Amino acid sequence: MVKFKEVKAKTVLNKYRYRDNSFWCRYGINPYRGCQFACNYCDAITEKYLIHENVEDFSRVIYVKTNAPELLEKELKKAEKDVVALSGVTDPYQPAERKYEIMRNVLEVLKDNGFPVHIGTKSDLVLRDIDILSEISTNSWCALSFTVTTFDKNLLSLLEPFSPPPERRLEAVKKLREAGIMAGVDFTPIIPYLLDDDNNIREVIRKASENGAEYLLPGVGMTLRNNQKTRWFELLKENWPELIEKYEKLYGESQEPNREYVVEINRKTFEVCKELNIKTYTPPPDFERPLKENFQVANLLLLIAYFKERRTGNPYAAWAYHKAAQNIEELEESIRDIHNENELEKISGVGKNLAEIIKEFLDTGKCEKIERLKTEW
């Protein structure tokens, strides 16, 4: 029996230090804490995110921030317009949303204030709000990423026992795309030895493509941290004891699988996406904001970083690009003026190589490097 605890949050809009180059968000909102979908691989039960005293309560006690819309209305008055991730931690369209409609009201507020959004969910309940999403998409920017990891019913009953079936999520992708709203598939996590075989990878990508997904985000190696690791190993012990040794080898003392493995999975997903003509990244956001060209240049660098990270399996492989992008975003003058003065290398974090990339982009509107990264492994 699930209990709902209505709470009055003190703050609701969390600002991230750096822009994420997968969801492109700079803010996150969590209307709910705890998640009724109770996926057995969930990383929201790790200490980093958990607010429940007892990990077992994560899916049984759902905290509902009933004042989120009013609070957000106030907080947005002081915030710069930027992409808001919904949600940062748990699924915003879990069953509680049917009753409380916090997401619907939060989206209304974001729409009225012109804020772009990127929603991540496993639920087609999001279609209820297609009217608001359509307005956000037209007037600002909107992306919806539906997690799909497999269609194997036996595996799903153990991995994601309470989520809507993946077929319904893909139908939602199709409907959103038909309504002109950007939607794609988040293939996360690609679980080692259960979901990483060629057939599963191909099936997820093929079905995403058949349903009109604009992009597919390949999961970059399942993390295994404290509570999450304990739960996962319990599941392995009960159902796939023969995999325990393989996991111990693959992870060692780390919270992530070894890099060679991650790169190989990334390469496989990249090749199938290329064959089926589906993007492996979320197209960068496009919405009205001051110094928009600076923002476009910053996003170009972040997208290059995204591909480098996937090719190396190292989330820090392109940190210089992240820092330079952030510095460019924070400039108070136009990067084109700086370029015209021949002073790009005076921007903090922009060396000779990055300056060349920026120059090419500002002079031609293109970037050869990014075109190559999009199409070649």
Closer by beta carbon to ligand SF4, 188 or else 294:
188
Residues pairing with 185 in the sheet: 146, 216
Q: Of residues 2, 4, 14, 38, which one binds ligand SF4 by CB under 6 A? A: 38
Q: Three-state DSSP class for 150?
A: coil
Closer by beta carbon to ligand SF4, 60 or else 323:
60
Closer by beta carbon to ligand SF4, 38 or else 331:
38
Stretch that binds ligand SF4, among 36-44, 196-204, 257-265, 352-360 (CB under 6 A): 36-44
Could you give the CA distance from residue 320 to residue 323 in angstroms, rounded to a whole number?
A: 5
Rule CB under 6 A: say whether 30 interacts with ligand SF4: no
Q: Of residues 12, 13, 25, 42, which one binds ligand SF4 by CB under 6 A? A: 42
Could you give the CA distance from residue 189 to residue 205 in angstroms, rounded to a whole number?
A: 14
Closer by beta carbon to ligand SF4, 44 or else 216:
44
Nearest residue to 113 via CA among 62, 86, 161, 79? 79
Q: Quick one: tokens of 156?
A: 């799903």
Task: Kindly state the smallest distance separating residue 35's Cβ from ligand SF4, in Å.
Answer: 3
Stretch that binds ligand SF4, among 38-46, 219-227, 244-252, 315-323 (CB under 6 A): 38-46
Angle between helices 292-312 and 352-364 in degrees, nearest 10? 130
- Count how many residues are written for the chain: 377
Residue recorded with tokens 């992870």: 251
Stretch that binds ligand SF4, among 33-41, 77-85, 136-144, 275-283 (CB under 6 A): 33-41
Assess contact for 3 and 60: CB atoms under 8 A.
yes
Rule CB under 6 A: say whether 103 interacts with ligand SF4: no
Q: Of residues 12, 13, 39, 216, which one binds ligand SF4 by CB under 6 A? A: 39
Could you give the CA distance from residue 298 to residue 322 in angstroms, rounded to a whole number?
A: 8
How far from the centroid of its chain's Cα atoms is residue 105's Cα? 22
Task: Kindly state the smallest distance separating residue 320's Cβ from ligand SF4, in Å.
Answer: 32
Q: Three-state DSSP class for 197?
A: coil
Rule CB under 6 A: say whether 37 interacts with ligand SF4: yes
Task: Kindly state the smallest distance separating residue 39's Cβ from ligand SF4, in Å.
Answer: 3
Residue recorded with tokens 């492996």: 280
Q: Of residues 25, 44, 201, 370, which one binds ligand SF4 by CB under 6 A? A: 44
Count of alpha carbons within 13 angstroms of residue 332, beta-carbon side: 0
Rule CB under 6 A: say whether 256 interacts with ligand SF4: no
Stretch that binds ligand SF4, among 8-16, 39-47, 71-79, 194-202 (CB under 6 A): 39-47
Closer by beta carbon to ligand SF4, 90 or else 294:
90
Rule CB under 6 A: say whether 35 interacts with ligand SF4: yes
Task: Kindly state the smallest distance separating residue 4's Cβ from ligand SF4, in Å.
Answer: 15
Size of the site for ligand SF4 (CB under 6 A): 9
Please report, in angstroms and rounded to a whole number, the separation of the first and last CA atoms in the chain.
48
Could you give the CA distance from residue 153 to residue 202 in angstroms, rounded to a whole number?
A: 17
Q: Of residues 91, 108, 214, 309, which one binds ligand SF4 by CB under 6 A? A: 91
Assess contact for 147 and 217: CB atoms under 8 A.
no
Closer by beta carbon to ligand SF4, 91 or else 97:
91
- Binning the chain into helix, strand and coil, the percentages to the nearest 5 are 50, 10, 40
Antiparallel, parallel or unpaired: β 61-65 and 32-33:
antiparallel
Binding site for ligand SF4 (CB under 6 A): 35, 37-39, 42, 44, 90-91, 122
